[in-house]
Structure 1
């Protein structure tokens, strides 16, 4: 079995293809796809071996690639997006897109070949909340959740039935106190728990999920700030927004490892990676210094390796995650400037 890792390097305008040795915890660069200007987010269709790349620019684009032998990328075409993409998720016969700057959530239909199609309408919700930052479907296929950073809400949708739109909005969950800024979320493999990280407050929130109604119930939270960090409360970085403090809380990524028993969070002012024990009452197990301004992180398919990319370091660090949350560094490699997103493919 082979594992490929694709790294979107935003400032470089490239997508790097690497072979990932999950036993050793090492990456080996295979190829670099140039000319992918503004690439900032990736999503992967494992069934059809298709990589989707969201690209920022005057006209937001979706670039579609087929992964062929040796992890090489074969371009399938570029397609205009209805809005900029901060986060994308593959959704069986569609692509979910969260737009931070346009405060919108969309679902783009895909044809049988995995290409955007006009045969079914694109769903867009531009009134659910401000600064949509993340969107994920549940594994049971019943619900979709998204974060509205500027509205302090976790949005919820159910699947539309006959005569309805693709997604139907449900009551949202308010993240308190105000100004926390829910940024990214994870959904447990069993689908009964949702974790949310807040960008400005620096907390990881845990919610029980009702798998029938989709309702979320808050159960506990924990701060990822460490003793001596001396971080001020963060602010939303939007045009005309409040001045940014000298040392603000600036949390970024939340991922899950070890079958969902551990959550991994990054913070960009301190450049720290924090391990959290997942559950009703999450708790911090440890934290380590990592890449400078670590916006991007991802967990490999084994659930035992975490990759962290530095916006300011142009490097990626790989760590093995132990059952008790101990992080063992296994490799650090140079990449194109600003490694902003990761995607993986396992091939038998």
Structure 2
């Protein structure tokens, strides 16, 4: 099954467009190749795909802040719209109907909502939140709206409606250990489990998603936590808040976890750690989680994506000059390196869609 792969290159101000072909391809170049490199706005980073409309949304985190919409085609991308943004957005989440994009501003401590169903819309609605929000997820059953606050060591949960959006008046805080830095998160396909990756402590926190009101009247119940790596082996110290890294001579020797993804069958969970250039594999079964092994990948892996058929994992490295393709063993989740293709500088995000 062929796929379109897109990589945002923050330092090159470009979007790399790739084609992932059949595993029966005669060569690595036929299997995974760069089709084109699209000049984009400065500091392009987070992306989201509307599969039904075949649109790729990309955020520029440099002034003038903006969201670009591209039509996906076999030769790459065609810019079809640009929406102004009030701040630099670190992460975006497209609602299932494709009408609304939710965003978080790490620097300005904001949640933001943009109606993209109206091509002429120029207004973004913002809501203040805690320190350094980093990611948003809407639960698969469309009942919960969840975001992380790295600087507050908090996950916040709100009831969600497809008609009215999140209920800010009913927001519930789920505290994490001080200095852990919750960053990215992912639901299990069933929506019964939430996995949260902490950037500075390098752990996966596992929560049960309560179907109704629990005894403590909270939507999430803590189950367990697991380290993503044997950090002593790599000599990695606990991570620091971004504003404290500038004067830190040991920044490259600290935990710096980045991304977390789960296969669509809900069996395998993968995380990345940048300073060790490792992807970790966990076997998961809803609330059960077990660390299995780790793999050395492209330098400073910031983002990973899994193809919808669960056959491939794509890795982008911030300090790498190639994007990596790995085959996923369907029986145990182990990764086998298959191919690389050139990328721009500062590769920061990867997204995939069926071709």
| TM-score after normalising by structure 1 | 0.90
1:315 aligns with 2:322: yes
The 1-side partners of 2:136 and 2:211 are apart by: 17
Q: Which residue of 2 aligns with 1:53?
A: 58
The structural deviation recorded for 1:238 is 2.1
4+ aligned runs moved over 6 Å, structure 1: 239-242
* Cα RMSD, aligned residues only: 2.2
The 1-side partners of 2:146 and 2:23 are apart by: 33
The structural deviation recorded for 1:111 is 1.8
1:328 aligns with 2:336: yes
Unaligned 5+ runs, structure 2: none
Q: Is the 8 A contact 1:318 1:331 kept in 2?
A: yes
- CA 1:199 to 1:116, structure 2 compared with 1: closer, same or farther past 3 Å? farther
The structural deviation recorded for 1:228 is 1.3
Larger mean Cα displacement after TM superposition, 187-196 or 218-227: 218-227
Q: Which residue of 1 aligns with 2:289?
A: 282
Correspondence 1:201-212 to 2 at 5 A: 201-212=201-212
Correspondence 1:233-312 to 2 at 5 A: 233-238=238-243, 243=248, 245-246=250-251, 247-257=253-263, 259-278=265-284, 279-312=286-319
**Number of aligned residue pairs:** 338
The 1-side partners of 2:227 and 2:22 are apart by: 30
Larger mean Cα displacement after TM superposition, 182-191 or 277-286: 277-286
Q: Is the 8 A contact 2:315 2:350 kept in 1?
A: no
The 2-side partners of 1:167 and 1:183 are apart by: 20
- The Cα offsets for residues 243-272 of structure 1, whole Å up to 9 and x where unpaired, read as 363411111111112512111111111111
1:109 aligns with 2:115: yes
Q: Which residue of 1 aligns with 2:353?
A: 345
Q: Which residue of 2 aligns with 1:87?
A: 91
Q: Is the 8 A contact 2:34 2:341 kept in 1?
A: no
- CA 1:296 to 1:29, structure 2 compared with 1: closer, same or farther past 3 Å? same
- CA 1:284 to 1:74, structure 2 compared with 1: closer, same or farther past 3 Å? same
Q: Which residue of 2 aligns with 1:231?
A: 236
Correspondence 1:144-163 to 2 at 5 A: 144-159=145-160
The structural deviation recorded for 1:181 is 0.4
Q: Secondary structure at the match of 1:228?
A: helix
Q: Is the 8 A contact 2:7 2:316 kept in 1?
A: no
Unaligned 5+ runs, structure 1: none
Q: Secondary structure at the match of 1:191?
A: coil
Q: Is the 8 A contact 2:83 2:121 kept in 1?
A: no
| TM-score after normalising by structure 2 | 0.89
